Chain A
Amino acid sequence: MADLAITPGHGAAEPHDEHATTTGLPNTKIAMWVFLASECLLFGALITTYVLYRGASDTGPYPADVFDIPYTSVSSFVLLASSLTMVLSLTAAQKRDVARMRLWLLATALLGLTFVGGQVYEFTAFYDEGLSITTNLFGTTFYVLTGFHGVHVTVGILMLLSLVGFSAADRLPDDAAFPVEMVGLYWHFVDIVWIIIFTVVYLIPTPSPVPA
């Protein structure tokens, strides 16, 4: 996927004098949108599984026993804030302000890292409270869904840090706005998915069944 992210624009096989694509859009941008459309179905299937098994656990701990909504709200806010810094880095890249672009990219990666770190802490805390991936359906669906999202955020952090590294090593094109925009598309997508997950998993209360 990395060449989707940093190769600027056009079909590599185009002759030099012909840079126009059929739609006028760069290939990479269309590819990124198609890929994200595919990702929608991936998270769609995972979220559907979670919703289908809401309240179906036959043993505790149940969601209400382990969730710490204020804590997760803060880490969600951190992730959403990273979308702002992502946009700021794109603006800087468009103005060819390389220093600010790197700064905001680093800030985005740091916010992402904070979120992932928070998730690791959360997983550890839940595990200590007796919720493992095998305990019940809640554990199974919760860890797999949020874990998949966490992996996506981690891949995004790798891409952000790579951009900073490539930029420092002078391996980005002079106009770095395009690769930054592509990584940004992915990053915003992952954020939006988290809004849905946070709402569905944390905010909508799941009734704990009365023990028989």
Chain B
Amino acid sequence: MATVTVPETARGLLRRPTAVTGAFSWLTTVDHKKIGIMYGVAAFVFFIVGGLEALLIRTQLYRPDGTLLNADQYNQVFTMHGITMIFLFVMPMSSALFNYLIPLMIGARDVAFPRLNAYSFWVFALGGLFLYSSPFLGGAPNGGWFGYAPNSTTDPSIGMTFYALGLIITGIASTAGAVNLAVTVVNMRAPGMSLFRMPPFVWMGLVVQFLLVFSLPIITVALFQLLFDRRWDTAFFDPTRGGDPILWQHLFWLFGHPEVYILILPAFGIFSEVLPVFSRKPLFGYQFVVFSGIAIGFIGFGVWAHHMFAAGLGPVANTAFGISTAIIAVPTGIKIFNWMGTMYGGDIRFTPAMLFSVGGVAMFVIGGLSGVTHAIVPSDYQQTDTYYIVAHFHYVLFGGAIFGFFSAFFYWWPKVFGRRLNEALGKIEFWLMLLGFNLAFGPMHILGLQGMIRREYSYPESLGLTFWNQVSTVGAFLIALSVLMFMVNVARTHLKHRDEAVEDPWDARTIEWMTTSPPPVHNFDEIPTVHSLDEFWHRKYVEDERSGTLVPAQAGAADTHDDGHAGHGSIHLPSPSYWPLVAAVGLPIMAYGVLYSWWLVGLGALVVLTGIFGWALEPSVAEE
């Protein structure tokens, strides 16, 4: 058994933090598991906030001529709903899962740059708080999450300046995190863990990190241009000085469409882990799942203008992007068939995790099919800016990504916390959410085709849209109820006495289940040597020569594989550090400075520099 050293020392400006438990330890931790949990908690809080905003929207639209919100408030609420769900919930929740699971799934002790990891988290969390300070400082962003110019550049309220600055900050967090996780996957795999022995979740994670690395700088430039136009009166998107607002759309969607895959590929990875485990079969066509994920990554950069069919790019551009959009449905379809093939003939157990994965795939198919209808340009002309689009992207993002997250919660909860969530409650939650989801977003297809425009704060009764809007609102509240049930489930699970053994509750296939649950701070006492895809499964079961069926491996036989990399000597884990938090705090200070005073910009820059120099001069592992 290896011993773990977390040494302490006093050096530099601040005494090195040493606490590994207690509230304070969370501020200074560099452990990927703690950071993953913090990402998860913060993202879930933003999920609740974004959900409440959705309920405000649906309540407003329950009756014709709604009076709960006025037009200005409604603009702020739907804009913040979009920003919150995309940048402050789905992206960081994916980061939470990747952070926690990727090192465990590839047999690493931590990510490549543990302090950079803490930095990413703090920058994201502070960026989220920065965005949410806007309602108290003169108004939230109100130009939609897409921020189309010149509406976003000329709006008199301060909201869209917060939008530009806030998203630049969260973009820095995502870029740092993406570089970190990409290097981790490329360079820190356990012995024998070749690329094509990696679990599909890790593969999708790798593709997502590269999508982030290549798409975020584009929106960063666009956001800076928006910021300069708003704050310093430049002419980027000002038609009166020759500027072209369509440039914003190009830059935004050149980021925005890869972003769609950034949001959904993590769920594809989750489906690809959960479906095989609960079907007791290997993933059908692993290579196809991996390569279609990579193909989606590449093609995802070539379809952005399908968001702009109605912008007047001309028939050649529209045709080209219509075709590329139809093409990207192919690798996605391949995955759907792979998941169905995985379940076909399997020994299926309908646990909540399995239900959410199966439900997620089914809902994603509906969203994918309505998406294909957008590839047909004349049809898209009819659907653009109607509720049909709203229905489409909620089916793929809620139906795909969020169902995927709940599947992941139920599947990996025992791994992370050593406790299983209640299964009965989980099943009720699933059926309630499935029902509420389809009631909320299904009718939006009809509303959209009837001509109901997106982002309208009210509609007159004479349009005949009332009934389906009421159905949709009821559905939204059912979703809220199911999320509430999940929170009750979590509370129950953690209040009750921990009694059951949860080392390998699902008879899982991948190596994160080979260590204890929750894992020790150093992840594995001995880093396993990997011999095949689904390594853990192959250690547990061998094929019987005569009958051809799987039988449990001889006890102890599996352990003989643990050759070589025994952790003799001590394991030096990176020590906790204040500096990532310090370097992160400077960024929102600088952003407030851009809004209010150059002095604050200077102060913020000084804080960032202090953080970075403290960080650079501090050894990652404190001396003994």
Contacts and interface: CB of A to CB of B under 8 A. Distances in A.
Nearest to B522: A13
Interface stretch (A36-44, A89-97, A123-131, A195-203): A36-44
B110 A13 contact: yes
Given A15-B571, A16-B570, A31-B179, A134 B232 contact: yes
A4 B572 contact: no
30 contacts: A11-B112, A12-B114, A12-B574, A12-B621, A13-B110, A13-B111, A13-B114, A14-B109, A15-B571, A16-B570, A16-B572, A17-B568, A17-B569, A18-B565, A22-B187, A31-B112, A31-B183, A41-B214, A41-B218, A42-B221, A46-B221, A49-B221, A49-B251, A53-B243, A58-B242, A134-B232, A134-B233, A134-B235, A144-B224, A162-B616
A44 B216 CA distance: 12
Contacts of A41: 214-215, 217-218
Closest 8 CB pairs of A and B: A13-B110, A2-B616, A42-B217, A12-B620, A45-B221, A13-B109, A41-B217, A140-B234
Contacts of A139: 235
Contacts of A23: 186-187
A25, A31, A39, A139: most-surrounded residue (chain B CB, <10 A)? A31
B247 A58 contact: no
A134 B110 CA distance: 48
A147 B186 CA distance: 34
Contact of B613 (A2, A11, A12, A31): A2
Please classify the interface of chain A as helix (H, G, I), strand (E, B), loop, or mixed, using the class held by over half of its residues: helix
Nearest to A46: B221
A136 B612 contact: no
A27 B234 contact: no
A133 interface: yes
A121 interface: no
Interface in A1-33: 1-7, 11-18, 21-23, 25, 27, 30-31
A57 B243 CA distance: 9
A3 B620 contact: yes
A34 interface: yes
B617 A171 contact: yes
B164 interface: no
A77 interface: no
Contacts of A137: 235-236, 241-243
Nearest to A58: B242
Given A2-B616, A137-B236, 6 more contacts: A2-B613, A2-B615, A12-B113, A14-B109, A38-B213, A44-B218
Interface string B112-134: 11111000000000000000000
Contact of A15 (B2, B111, B175): B2
B167 to A, nearest CB: 15
Interface of A: 1-7, 11-18, 21-23, 25, 27, 30-31, 34-35, 37-39, 41-42, 44-46, 49, 52-53, 56-58, 133-134, 136-137, 139-141, 144, 148, 162, 166, 171
Contacts of A21: 187-188
A14 B107 CA distance: 11
Contacts of A53: 242-244
B392 interface: no
A133 B228 contact: yes
Interface in B65-97: none
B569 to A, nearest CB: 6
A37 B214 contact: yes
A169 to B, nearest CB: 9
A117 to B, nearest CB: 20
A22 B185 CA distance: 9
Contacts of B228: 133, 140, 144
Given A13-B109, A52-B247, A30 B568 contact: no
Given A17-B568, A35-B179, A52-B247, A3 B615 contact: yes
Given A13-B108, A38-B216, A144-B228, A49 B247 contact: yes
Nearest to B617: A171
B169 interface: no
B617 A166 contact: yes
Interface in B237-279: 241-244, 247, 251, 254
Contact of B573 (A13, A58, A166): A13
B180 interface: yes
A46 B222 CA distance: 9
Contacts of A1: 612
B513 to A, nearest CB: 20
A46 B180 CA distance: 25
A49 B175 CA distance: 22
A25 B188 CA distance: 11
Interface string B450-462: 0000000000000
A42 B220 contact: yes
B604 to A, nearest CB: 15
Nearest to B30: A12
B361 to A, nearest CB: 32
Contact of B217 (A39, A56, A58): A39
Contact of A3 (B116, B182, B213, B571): B116
Nearest to B215: A41
Given A13-B109, A58-B242, A49 B613 contact: no
A22 B235 CA distance: 48
B215 to A, nearest CB: 8
A55 to B, nearest CB: 10
A1 B110 CA distance: 18
B225 interface: yes
B505 interface: no
B447 to A, nearest CB: 37
Contact of A49 (B189, B217, B236, B620): B236
Given A42-B220, A144-B225, A162-B616, A136 B213 contact: no
A171 B617 CA distance: 7
